[in-house]
Amino acid sequence: MKILSADQTHAADQATIKTDRISSLDLMERAATALADWLMNRLSPSEAGEAHVLCGPGNNGGDGLVLARLLHLAGYAVRVWLLPADKRSADCQANLDRLPANIPQAEVAEDALPTLPDGTLVVDALFGTGLSRPLEGVAAALVRHLHKAKARVLAVDIPSGLFTDAPQPADSVIVRAYHTVSFELPKLAFLLPHNAEYVGQWHLVPIGLDAKFLAKAKVEHYFVDAAFVAGKLPRRAMFSHKGMYGHALLLAGSNGKMGACVLATRACLRSGVGLLTVRTPGIGYDVLQTTAPEAMALVDPNQDHLTELPALKSYDAVGMGPGMGQEDATRVVLEQLLREAGEQQLALVLDADALNLLGTHRELLDLLPPDTVLTPHPKEFERLTEPARDDYHRLELLRNFCQKYRCYCVLKGAYTCLGTPDGPLYFNSTGSPGMASGGSGDALTGVLTALRAQSKHLSPLDACLLSIYAHGRAGTLAAEALGEASSLAHDLIEKLGLAFQELTAPEEW
């Protein structure tokens, strides 16, 4: 799904109002009804206790006022706190006028802040996408007061004080929500590591935004959810043979790090590649033949690390890096690979030590063949570029890097972000904290190499999107089966099959 900017969100609201021939007040009622349904499905009136709804002067406050009315009508105890305002938006004022008289309401002031016993349900409807500057004055005092309380905070649309899609001063006062319920589409701010403490768990409720407007909207950011990738993986034909699914080469492993090589190998095999050859140092031969008999082992003359690039003509894609080490001889192999892959238009996937070598020998970046896939975690990315000032700066560095080198760059983490040569950024929706343990990234290299080898069936962009989505989904399935702390990269690999099944095109007839 698309991620709209704050301005586009407003335009989507306007388009919906026009297409559905409703008033903005009706749309507010629709949005707040969806929010109320979400809340009522989660908490009964007795579980909720008295809900304190904090309302600002704009339409976010208007949503809060509608919610207060709907909760009250459904038998929930509600109390409204208003931010003092010279002027409210028309729809906010209309809903203030409609607020049932028996809902207690009061204006907050710095010396008149709500009393919030532990566990109080607080609805934050102070500011939404119309926030134009950091909070100050009474609003900031109220939010600081909220920080001290042990309240259950639900943010409407976005935690108040958080900018939708732009960096903000480090000392900004921002609501720390447990849940954020947003309308229809996610906001860029939700996907950035530093905002996790404000956004908490976020949820989307549908409000029937104009589908034609959304289809036409030009965006820079996408959220890769199930619907985005569903059916993108082609089915195999009945008379398939291994030659139709690509021959991949993995260059991986060194003395003491053969595990990374084995994990990448097994993940590659589980991701539909027709044939796989693995180049490892001599030390890796036995372990590879034992743990991955489906792969062919092609050993380097050196026992401990890679020193020679094999002939590349039989391969469709090459993955390099997991557990490889950064010996000088290995750096020469990388350089030779970049040159030859460029000439032969081979698909490349570079990870781990291949990235670290690029970071210490940046002149090699100019040799990257177009459409190369790099898979850095933030530290590796920093080595390739520069330290980022903040999450938004990191996205800017990612976009510039991919456009400069015409490459795909998978910036790994929760909500892994794929940068593309044409500019748009794609945030992955799958994955689990259970994947935060050694080896998960090696598995991703295997998956990507397998899908890039199947270039007869998949574009580079689709290969990347399917790989990161399936890899994250497999991680989630493994964590569901074994628990987040105990699931290993090895378990993720065993779940890749189920993840790919979910992505396979339906049978046609």
Ligand X SMILES: Nc1ncnc2c1ncn2[C@@H]1O[C@H](COP(=O)(O)OP(=O)(O)O)[C@@H](O)[C@H]1O
Ligand Y SMILES: NC(=O)C1=CN([C@@H]2O[C@H](COP(=O)(O)OP(=O)(O)OC[C@H]3O[C@@H](n4cnc5c(N)ncnc54)[C@H](OP(=O)(O)O)[C@@H]3O)[C@@H](O)[C@H]2O)[C@@H](O)CC1
Q: Is 405 part of any known ligand binding site?
A: no
- On whether 323 is known to bind a ligand per the annotation, the reply is yes
Comparing every residue's Cβ against ligand X, the nearest one is 441
Q: For tokens 């030659």, name the residue.
A: 243
Q: Are 275 and 316 in contact (CB under 8 A)?
A: no
210 binds ligand Y (CB under 6 A): no
CB 490 within 8 A of CB 507: no
Q: Is 384 in the site for ligand X (CB under 6 A)?
A: no
Is 210 a known ligand-binding residue?
A: no
- How many CB atoms are closer than 10 A to CB 348? 24
Kindly state whether residue 439 participates in binding ligand X, applying the rule CB under 6 A.
Answer: yes
**Coil, helix or strand for 461?**
helix
Is residue 162 close enough to count as binding ligand Y by CB under 6 A?
no
Report whether 404 belongs to an annotated binding site.
no
What is residue 358's DSSP assignment?
A: H
DSSP β-bridge partners for residue 179: 154, 201
The angle that helices 90-97 and 24-42 make with each other, rounded to 10 degrees, is 60
d(CA 395, CA 379): 14
* Position 59 contacts ligand Y (CB under 6 A): yes
What phi-psi label fits residue 200: left (phi over 0), alpha (psi between -120 and 50 degrees) or beta? left
* 276 and 295 Cβ atoms separated by less than 8 Å: yes
Contact of 496 with 444, CB cutoff 8 Å: no
**Contact stretch for ligand X (CB under 6 A) within 76-84, 267-275, 410-418, 459-467:** 410-418
Among 48, 58, 198, 264, binds ligand Y (CB under 6 A): 58
Q: Return the range that interacts with ligand X (CB under 6 A); candidates 51-59, 111-119, 365-373, 426-434.
A: 426-434
- Closest to ligand X by CB, 67 vs 334, is 334
Does residue 1 touch ligand X according to CB under 6 A? no
Q: Which of 156, 199, 217, 397 binds K ion (CB under 5 A)?
A: 156
Confirm or deny that 63 is annotated as ligand binding: yes
CB of 78 or CB of 138, closer to ligand Y: 138
Report the site for ligand Y in 66-95 (rule: CB under 6 A): 89
Which amino acid is residue 308, in one-letter code?
E
Asked whether the beta carbons of 152 and 117 are under 8 A apart, the reply is no
Identified binder of K ion from the candidate list 89, 120, 160, 476, rule CB under 5 A: 160
> What is the C-alpha to C-alpha distance for residues 445 and 433, in angstroms, rounded to an integer?
19
How many Cβ atoms from other residues are within 10 Å of residue 36's Cβ?
A: 22
> Of 271, 270, 301, 269, which is closest to residue 285 (Cα–Cα)?
301
* Number of residues engaging ligand Y in binding (CB under 6 A): 26
Looking at the Cβ atoms of 173 and 488, the one nearer to ligand X is: 488
Q: Are 16 and 185 in contact (CB under 8 A)?
A: no
Check binding of 247 to ligand X (CB under 6 A).
Answer: no
| 63 lines the binding site for ligand Y (CB under 6 A) | yes
The binding track of 459-498 with respect to ligand X, each residue x by CB under 6 A or -, is: -------------x--------------------------
Least CB distance to ligand Y at residue 156 (A): 6
Residue closer to ligand Y, measured from CB, 24 or 336: 24
- Which ranges constitute the DSSP H helices of 152-303? 196-199, 211-216, 226-229, 258-269, 285-291
Q: Which of residues 136 and 308 has its CB atom nearest to K ion in the complex?
A: 136
**Contact footprint for ligand Y (CB under 6 A):** 13, 24, 27-28, 31, 56-61, 63, 89, 127-135, 139, 156-157, 183
**Contact footprint for ligand X (CB under 6 A):** 377, 412-414, 416, 431-433, 435-436, 438-442, 444, 472
Binding-site entries for (6S)-NADPHX:
59-63, 128-134, 157, 260, 323, 377, 442
Binding-site entries for K(+):
60, 124, 160
